[in-house]
Amino acid sequence: MKALVTSSGPQGIVEAADGPNGHNRRVRSWRGLSEAFAATFQTVTERIGWPLFWVILVLVLILPSAAFLILAVSPHLFGQGLAWFTLSSFSSALSGVTLQGMRNSVVVGVIAAIFATLVGSFLAFGLQRTNMKGKGLFSVAIWGILLLPSYIIAVGWQVLLDRGGVLASINLFSPRLLNLFFGPAGYALILGIKGVPFAYFAMAGPISSLGSSYEEAIRTHGGGRMEVLRTLGPVLMPALFSALVVVFAESIADFGTAAVIAPNAHFPVATYNLYVALSSYPANFSEAAVIGWMLVTVVGIALAVQHHSMKRRRFATLGGKAAAARIKYVGRWGQLVNLVGFLLFFAVALGVPILGALSSSMLKPLSSMSMGHLSFFAYRGIFNVNGFGSSIVFSFKMAVLNASLAVILAAVIARRLTSKKVGVIGKLLDVTVIAAIALPGLVLAAGYIFVYNLPILQSIGLHLYGTVTVLAMAYLAGALPSSSRVLVGPMAQIQGSLLEAARVNGSGAFHSWRKAVLPLLAPSLLWAWLLTFAGTFLELPASELLAPPGVTPVSVAIVQILNKSNLYQGTALSIVALLIDLGMIVLVMMIFRTLAPKGWRRVGGRVI
Amino acid sequence: MSDFGGAPSIKVDSVSKVYAGGKRALTDVSFEVEAGSFMVLLGPSGSGKSTLIRCIAGLERVSEGTIQFGSKTVSSKGLHLKSEERELSMVFQDYALWPHMTALDNVAFALKRRALPKSQRKTQAISMLDRMGLMHLSDRYPQELSGGEQQRVALARALVARPGLMLFDEPLSNLDADLRERLRVEISTLTREVGATTLYITHDQSEAFALADYVGVLDRGRLVQLDRPEVLYSKPKTPFVARFTGLAGDLPAVVNSVESSRSVVSALDGSSWLSAHSNVPLKMGEKVRILVRAAAVKMAPLLASGVDRERETLSGTVSDVAFRGIGYEHVVQVSDGHVLSGIFSERRHSRGTAVLLSFDPDGCILFPEKSGDESLITLEDQDQSQLTDETCFEASQSIS
């Protein structure tokens, strides 16, 4: 009893309960050591953690993008011209192909946003509010589209429609369809498909939490179906608007579709123009920077308008007092209509690209479609040709490294953003993360090329340009905003009292966090890791611009082979890369399910 | 005014509801509500009361049976009049105020069905809000109002068009005790002022008793009793109804003598006995449970007690005491280990005090030990049982 009274914390209890035998002394000393380590760790992180964190943020995110954008107005600052301040790059860029590219991007972005929002809303209503069959499968398919890079969807469609493609092999080649694909329609289709998951996620929450009682209140007070639509439409407006803006921003900033379609199409878009400006010799940094400005401005305006509109009228009762929405039981005909609609969309979004790529990769060159002409020659080729195997290994390593780093940093960012004591630094972080979301990956990569190639860095002995390190930094910068976004929600839901309960029961800070918070966050951390892994493994813009000589990431290899019109090997490599990507997700999920304790696998009331 | 001729009567006849997933929510429910009266459906969660009110509102279809407003059938297996054509209004548990409309717009919405000019709708909505004391909040959005204010706006919306039928789906359950009491009074007076037929569901028996002309008790999808509150309290037809309408506790006993009126009986094992009544016939020596209303128990300290210890008393020990403003409520553990709670005394008896409990037979109801909560009655049974004279039984409490 004496030990219980005098000691504080669990060690005392161990001692009092078990007596002084060897095993328990060991337990105690391990506990003591781990607590001591935790205390030291905490002190160190408190002292140098935040400064170090900001140094990382500045180096990977803020400095490259800011310097690149400043370059457009002050070339002399970076030894690129005479003027300290000039808008001449803007006046020259705001004409001709550059302006046309921007205009095209905006038009295609708007069409894609409308398409994706319509389809996303339909999917959200079907999956969230009806008893339609196959919900689980369709939900997975939406994640599939999210994970599928736009260039792979574009490649799938291209190999279907191309001269030597799948349709040609069954004598259905149509030049008109091909022309349509290599133009605004093709762009809008691919970007629209890619936008659907974003629109779906924006709409699903509000649609599922728009309590049925709002509708029932209209019906019981004499309003018919039209009145329901008229009255409740505005409640969904913020979500609808948010879906439109997010898809628009993602579409404008997309590089993958442009990388596949633009070399063959006479339809310039902003991201491809930026790429061309950088890859010309000598690189036209000022034009690239101006396009960067235009992209950031358009995306920034869209996000700002959305932010403003959400702020002006937040329908806080959504998901608040209102009871959960009831599931609508649709009859046989309703089921059929839903099913046909869903299958049609997923056939276009996933079926065509994957089947197109699969059949193209297995078809012998210039042969007609038949079982006898199918073979694995292209797949054998991938591993025979020197380099492709190493491409896969390289991208895999980078993806694992980046996912691990990004999740740790994103957790820190999310923790800070959801902290009660936000302060100036918290607000600064908030602004940085929002700005980073508005920053297209290509602009960021361009900033890296520019900043880490500056003579001043070379002169102080910092030779980062053309190294794997700079590519890793760019990957990290690209992944931080999205992985922080994934973690902010779950982090905000962690109640402070959980940690406090652990502390008052005698656990140290680190031990409390590990025991009381980490298990609750585990599924979200896992998701953030997997999303980052999948995104990095097939990442294109930074890989294309920053891969050092002699290193070819998977995405670059795919685009390079395809641009050499080697459809078979290009599609075979896409399929292999996708299988590795999805295989890794499945493997990690299975390991988590097998090894993680049940308490770690709870998401709300479900156990994953 | 209503298509159903002012306030309609409601007739629910053999209504059953099975949901698409196969879950049975209502089984053969029948009752009638007189035009202009206030009926409360009382039951725990899962008893089917929400489903029943939703069927009446036209928000759910019935699987079997019919619902009539006056002489017009609004629901049957093959017929379903849409909610918006039933000329009713409803107040929801979560208020269901449209979040993008001001308090005034929310209230004025209900007048659309009256085909009034917009200006007139606004004037009437304003006057209704004024009547509810919410005039100064008319431009506020729901999220800018407190829970009580939101529910009063919802009440104003339901009342403004003076519907013939008003439905209330647990409207007070999200509010704190004080607010609940004030709003209850408002609901009670305003609905009677409008003259509407009112159907109100709740799981709170005190709310039900305070509001209702008639209370129907639902248990697992069946209507087990429909009566005036006073009858329901004094003559519950099942142990479930007795329990759900408030008990101090229940005690096991054995019937020692059966008489047509209350009389003195000898105690089993010579230590204690109670006098109680039952609505069902009991046999000598039958094992029973005495369901005790808190108001039927009086307590006094064991030593100072003037009550004859040999008769109609039980001894026990105070295990908890709570101050309730006008006096004290005690939890008493009687000598056989059973617990009676909510026993009122103006004086405080500290924990551990030995007390003597005396019982009023009117508040002690006997049910056979084997009668479970599943003992159910039909509408016909109810009518017959109301004709039966009360029979009193005396039972000895078995000290187990």
**Structural domain contains residue B2:** no
C-beta separation of A215 from A228 below 8 A: yes
CB-closest option in B100, B110, B147 to A235:
B100
Could you identify the residue written with the tokens 């304790």? A597
Query: Which range has highest mean pLDDT (A14-23, A69-78, A108-117)?
Result: A108-117
Q: Which residue of A has its CA nearest to B19?
A: A329
Q: Please tell me the predicted confidence (pLDDT) of residue A365.
A: 60
pLDDT at A549 over 90: no
Quick one: how many helices (H) and strands (E) in chain A?
31, 2
Q: Strand, coil or helix: what is A363?
A: strand
Residue A203 near residue A270, CB atoms below 8 Å: no
Residue B314 touches chain A, beta carbons under 8 Å: no
* Residue B160 touches partner A, C-beta closer than 8 Å: no
Option in B20, B84, B147 nearest A223 (CB)? B84
pLDDT tens digit string along B59-69?
Answer: 999 999 999 99
Chain A 507-536, residues with CB within 8 Å of chain B CB atoms: none
B175 Cβ under 8 Å from any chain A Cβ: no
Give me the domain span that covers residue B42. Answer: 10-234
Average pLDDT for residues A160-167, to the nearest whole number? 80
Question: Which residues partner with B331 through β-bridges?
Answer: B320
Average pLDDT, integer, range A207-227: 85
> What residue spans of B195-264 are helical by DSSP H?
205-211, 229-234, 239-244
Same domain, B107 and B215: yes
B216 falls within a domain: yes
**Quick one: tokens of A370?**
């038949």
Report the percentage of chain A scoring pLDDT > 90: 12
What's the predicted TM-score (pTM) here?
0.73
For chain B, how many structural domains are there in total? Answer: 2
**What is the Cα–Cα distance from B248 to B250, expressed in whole angstroms?**
7
Mean pLDDT is highest, among A79-93, A168-182, B312-326, for B312-326
User: What rounded mean pLDDT belongs to chain A?
Assistant: 79
* B58, B83, B95: residue with CB nearest A321: B95
User: Any chain A CB within 8 A of the CB of B84?
Assistant: yes
What's the gap in Å between the CA of B30 and the closest CA on chain A? Answer: 23
Query: Which residue ranges make up each domain of chain A?
Result: 49-82+376-608, 89-374
- Nearest Cα residue to A167 out of A41, A430, A315, A355: A355
CA–CA dist A403, A325 (Å, integer) = 36
Contact check, Cβ <8 Å, B142/A221:
no
CATH architecture assigned to A49-82+376-608 = Orthogonal Bundle (1.10)
Q: Is A315 on the interface with B (CB under 8 A)?
A: yes
CA A34 – CA B104 distance, rounded (Å): 62
How many A×B Cβ pairs under 8 Å? Answer: 95
Quickly list DSSP for A415-473: HHHH-S--HHHHHHHHHHHHHHHTS-HHHHHHHHHHHTT-HHHHHTT---TTSHHHHHH
Kindly state the helix (H) or strand (E) to which residue A41 belongs, with its residue range: helix A22-44
Residue B240 covered by a domain? no
CB-CB contact of B58 with B64 (8 Å) = no
- Dist. CA B319–CA B332, nearest whole Å: 6
Interface test with chain A among B89, B92, B168, by most A beta carbons within 10 Å: B92
Strand partners, B298: B358
Confidence of residue A506 (pLDDT cuts 50, 70, 90): low
Give how far Cα A535 sits from Cα of A172, A404, A538, B161, B377, Å.
35, 13, 6, 57, 65
CATH number for the domain including B162? Answer: 3.40.50.300
Considering the domain architecture, whether residues B29 and B68 belong to the same structural domain is answered as yes
With CA atoms as reference, report the closest residue to A165 among A559, A556, A562: A562
Chain B nearest C-alpha distance from A548 (Å):
54
Tell me which of B205, B234, B263 is where a domain ends: B234
Q: Cβ of A213: how many Cβ atoms within 10 Å?
A: 23
Residues B226 and B302 reside in one and the same domain: no
Chain B closest-CA separation from residue A250 CA (Å): 29
The number of angstroms, rounded, from the C-alpha of A483 to the middle of its chain's C-alpha atoms is 7
Inter-chain CB proximity B98 and A214 less than 8 Å: yes
In chain B, which ranges are continuous DSSP H helix? 49-57, 103-109, 118-131, 147-160, 177-194, 205-211, 229-234, 239-244, 379-387
Distance between CA atoms of B290 and B365, rounded to whole angstroms? 6
CB A297 within 8 A of CB A438: no
Pairing label, strands B274-278, B24-33: unpaired
pLDDT at A9: 36
Q: Are residues B45 and B164 in the same domain?
A: yes
Higher pLDDT, residue B381 or A322? A322
Same domain? For B157 and B272 the reply is no
Decide if B98 and A213 are in contact by the 8 Å CB cutoff.
no
A133–chain B Cβ distance below 8 A for any pair? no
Query: Across A227-338, where does the E strand assignment appear?
Result: none
Question: Can you tell me the distance from the alpha carbon of A233 to that of A223, in angstroms, rounded to the nearest whole number?
Answer: 14
Q: Is B165 on the interface with A (CB under 8 A)?
A: no
**Residue of A219, A321, A329 with shortest CB distance to B83:** A219
Task: For residue B160, give the chain A residue with the closest CA.
Answer: A221
Q: Which of A150, A154, A242, A255 is nearest to A198 (CA)?
A: A242
| Same domain, yes or no: B315 and B193 | no
Q: Which of B202, B234, B266 is the last residue of a domain?
A: B234
Residue of B nearest to A331 (CA): B20
Give yes or no: residues B222 and B268 share one domain: no
Nearest CA in chain A to B167: A220
| Residue where a domain stops, chosen among B206, B234, B262 | B234
Q: What is the DSSP letter of B393?
A: E
* pLDDT band with cut points at 50, 70 and 90 for residue A578: confident
pLDDT in tens, A354-388: 888 888 777 766 555 555 666 776 777 776 665 67
Q: Are residues B253 and B166 in the same domain?
A: no
Q: Do B221 and B269 reside in the same domain of the chain? A: no
- With respect to residue B106, please indicate whether it lies within any of the assigned structural domains: yes
Distance from CA of A243 to the nearest CA of B (A): 19
Q: How far does B92 lie from chain A, in Å, by closest CA?
A: 7
Chain A residues in contact with B59 by the CB 8 A cut-off are: 216, 219-220
Amino acid at A48: I
Nearest to B100 among A217, A313, A320 (CB): A313
Domain identity same for B114 and B179: yes
- At A259 the pLDDT is 84
HEC per residue, A171-187: CCCCHHHHHHHCCHHHH
Q: Give the pLDDT band of residue A66 (cuts 50, 70, 90).
A: confident
Cβ(B300)–Cβ(B347) below 8 Å: no
Q: Does A326 touch chain B (CB under 8 A)?
A: no
Q: Is B10 on the interface with A (CB under 8 A)?
A: no
Partner B contacted by A229 (CB < 8 A): no
CB of A176 closer than 8 Å to CB of A236: no
CA dist A159 and A154 (Å) reads: 9
Residues of A whose CB is below 8 A from B88: 220
- Residues B125-158 pLDDT 10s: 999 999 888 999 999 988 889 988 999 999 999 9
Q: Hey, are the CB atoms on B113 and A214 less than 8 Å from each other?
A: no
The answer to whether the CB atoms of A222 and B113 lie below 8 A apart is: yes
Residue B63 forms part of a structural domain: yes
The predicted-structure confidence for A252-295, as pLDDT tens digits, reads as follows: 888 888 888 887 777 889 888 888 888 887 778 888 888 888 88
Asked if residue B89 belongs to a domain, the reply is yes
B285 and B147, same structural domain? no
Q: Are residues B266 and B389 in the same domain?
A: yes
Residue B56 domain flag:
yes
**Which residue among A220, A224, A231 places its CB closest to the CB of B98?**
A231
Neighbours of B86 (CB within 10 A): 28
User: Cβ(A137)–Cβ(A339) under 8 Å?
Assistant: no
What does the alpha-carbon distance between residue A168 and residue B297 come to, in Å, rounded to a whole number? Answer: 93
Does A222 lie at the interface with B, CB-CB under 8 angstroms? Answer: yes
Q: How far is A564 from chain B (nearest CA, A)?
A: 56
A209 and chain B in contact, CB less than 8 A = no
Taking residues A182-210, report their average pLDDT: 88
Q: Does B174 touch chain A (CB under 8 A)?
A: yes
Q: How far is A335 from chain B (nearest CA, A)?
A: 14
CB contact under 8 A, B98 and A217: yes
- Residue of A132, A219, A221 to mutate, testing the B interface (most B Cβ within 10 Å of its Cβ): A221
**Interface membership of A211 toward B (CB under 8 Å):** yes
Q: Hey, do A49-82+376-608 and A89-374 end up sharing a CATH topology, with the first three levels equal?
A: yes
Nearest CA among A139, A267, A291, A279 for reference residue A191: A267
Alpha-helical runs (H) found in A74-183: 88-93, 96-129, 135-147, 150-161, 166-169, 175-181
Q: B385 falls in which pLDDT band (50, 70, 90)?
A: very low
CATH 3.40.50.720 describes domain A89-374: no
Residue B217 tokens read as: 């008790």
Q: What is the pLDDT of residue A10?
A: 36
A47 alpha-carbon distance from chain centroid: 32
Note whether A131 contacts B: Cβ–Cβ < 8 A: yes
Nearest-neighbour CA in chain B from A241: distance (Å): 15
Q: How far apart are CA B149 and CA B128, in angstroms?
A: 14
Q: Does B20 touch chain A (CB under 8 A)?
A: yes
Q: What is the ipTM of this complex?
A: 0.75
Q: Is B92 on the interface with A (CB under 8 A)?
A: yes
Nearest CA distance, B400 vs chain A (angstrom): 40
The CA–CA distances, whole Å, from B319 to A103, A109, A590, B329 equal 81, 73, 54, 11
Q: How far is A213 from chain B (nearest CA, A)?
A: 5
How large is the average pLDDT for residues B4-23?
A: 87
- In chain A, what percentage of residues exceed pLDDT 70? 79
The pLDDT value recorded for residue B153 is 94
Q: Say which residue the tokens 């699969």 belong to.
A: A358
Chain B residues close to A316, C-beta within 8 Å? 99, 143
| Spatial CB neighbours of B144, under 8 Å, sequence gap ≥ 6 | none
